[in-house]
Amino acid sequence: MTSREEQVLERIDRARRRKARVREEHITMAHGAGGRATQTLIEAVFLDAFRNPLLEPLEDGAVIQVPAFTAPGGACARLAFTTDSYVVSPLFFPGGDIGDLAVNGTVNDLAVCGARPLYLSAGFVLEEGFPVEDLRRVAASMARAAAAAGVAIVTGDTKVVQRGKADGCYVTTAGVGLLDRDTRLGVARARPGDAVLVSGPIGEHGVTIMLARGELDIEADVTSDTAPLNGLITALLQATGAVRCLRDATRGGVATILNEIARASDVAVVVDEDAVPVRPDVRGACELLGIDPLYVACEGRVVVVVAGEAAEEALAALRGHPLGAGAAIIGRVAADPPSLVLLRTAFGGTRIVDVLVGDPLPRIC
């Protein structure tokens, strides 16, 4: 690198290591986009208030040791616990709706912890005037999704607010899963030489939601990829013990997940642009919207970091499952420059892929 490039990287590193501070006086839509503003809000407000060893890793769920129960072999049982809220607009869209999205999203957050999802809760905030028939559709969709994922919805809550104080229906789900194997996963476990994989084409859910709103004069045959990933992840973990990290690429897309890995592990993630699977209709819609597919949300794709020597084995395991048929190795982990994601472009150049800034795709989940 030239001295100028080194200076730029040093400035980026210094900026990222500053203590998180929310500069805005009021919440903006960017705070819910899953990018830089979201990370700052979480670290400066919630992590600062609730700080504890289980929360500090900021994974998709917490892994909890439960000494009151004995696992096979006499060890303490390990449970994964997660929660998520859903405010997607519109409520019904090609390929899914807020109901199956809520179930699948919580199942996936448990699965990427290495857990077997077992039980969910469901909380509903309903607006006065919301059609009961639509609520029945949402509930039926959740029931089907839970059955497909092999989980049970065992408790819940319902609140109603005045007309105009909400947007039809919001859903919050929480989930508990059991870690059957001694798997240790996390964004801080990536090492130089590791391979980075994605389980299929990216960006389908985010583009589907944007087009379903009918605000853009764009026609494309795109449907959401929302799906439960626990079966796919189980097949992967059974095939190889070399998996370092699993994350489902929702808000902020694959780019934001890779930045979280690079930052937590203090490594570089180098991605080959030509290797990233994107369907032509999704790529075309993104080009018209001026959005990079790497930042567009998925709801049925997992990003995998695995030891380099196990990359082909992991790829074969993913492709052997229906939800991983389009899996690909998209990059590698390197030592330098630490905490950065680099993209090798189709034109032979290299550029930095930073965390998402702003909110180009609001309320996609």
Instruction: Examine the domain organization and report whether 217 and 263 are in the same domain.
Output: yes
Dihedral sign from CA coordinates of 303, 309, 311, 314: negative
pLDDT, tens only, 29-72: 889 888 888 889 999 999 999 999 999 999 999 999 887 555 55
Q: 1 in a domain, yes or no?
A: no
3-state secondary structure of 220: coil
The residue to which tokens 């699993």 are assigned:
246
On whether both 220 and 322 belong to a single domain, the answer is yes
Do 150 and 285 have their domain in common? no
- Listing DSSP states for 243-278 in one string gives EEEEEE--TTHHHHHHHHHHHHHT-EEEEEGGGS--
Domain final position from 154, 182, 210: 182
Residue ending a domain, among 160, 182, 204, is 182
Evaluate whether residue 64 is within a structural domain: yes
Predicted confidence (pLDDT) per residue in 199-252, tens digit: 999 999 999 999 999 877 777 789 999 999 999 999 999 999 999 999 999 999
The answer to whether residues 345 and 212 belong to one domain is yes
Stated pTM of the model: 0.92
Give the pLDDT confidence of 121-170 residue by residue, as tens digits. 999 999 999 999 999 999 999 999 999 999 999 999 999 999 999 999 99
Which of 163, 155, 95, 157 shows the shortest CA–CA distance to 128? 163
Same domain, 156 and 304: no
- For the chain, what is the domain count? 3
Q: Does residue 238 lie in a domain region?
A: yes
Examine the domain organization and report whether 33 and 46 are in the same domain.
yes
The continuous run of DSSP H or E covering 135 comes out as helix 132-149
HSE value, Cβ hemisphere, 13 Å, CA-based, for 192: 10
Where are the strands (E) in the chain, listed by range?
62-70, 76-86, 92-93, 96-97, 116-127, 152-161, 169-178, 195-198, 243-248, 268-272, 302-306, 328-334, 341-344, 350-352
- 42 domain residue, yes or no: yes
Residue 126 token pair = 């309903």
Range of the domain at 49: 16-53
> Which two structure tokens, joined as six digits, stand for 295?
């930042």
76-86 β-sheet, strand order:
62-70, 76-86, 169-178, 116-127, 152-161
Helices 311-319 and 230-239 sit at what angle, rounded to 10 degrees? Answer: 140
- Residue 345 in any domain: the answer is yes
Q: Are residues 64 and 22 in the same domain?
A: no
User: Please, are residues 225 and 300 in contact by the beta-carbon 8 Å criterion?
Assistant: yes
- Residue 8 belongs to a domain: no
Instruction: Evaluate whether residue 199 is within a structural domain.
Output: yes
Segment holding 4, helix H or strand E: helix 3-17
Strand 169-178 to strand 76-86: parallel, antiparallel, or no bridges (unpaired)? antiparallel
Q: Residue count of the chain, please give it.
A: 365
In a domain, 364, yes or no: no
362 contacts 33 by C-beta, under 8 angstroms: yes
Query: Do 204 and 338 fall into the same domain?
Result: yes
- Domain shared by 245 and 132, yes or no: no
Are 138 and 234 within one domain? Answer: no
The 10s digit of each residue's pLDDT in 189-214 is 999 999 999 999 999 999 999 999 98
Last residue of a domain, one of 162, 182, 202: 182
Question: Considering the chain, what is the average pLDDT of its residues?
Answer: 92
How far is Cα 106 from Cα 85, in angstroms, rounded to an integer?
Answer: 9
Whether residue 192 is found in the same domain as residue 176: no
Stretch 14-36: mean pLDDT: 81
Q: What is the chain's percent helix, strand, coil content, to nearest 5?
A: 35, 25, 40
Distance in angstroms (rounded) separating the CA atoms of residues 108 and 299: 9
Do 338 and 244 share a structural domain? yes
State the CATH number of the domain containing residue 113: 3.30.1330.10
Residue 222 sits in a domain of what CATH number? 3.90.650.10
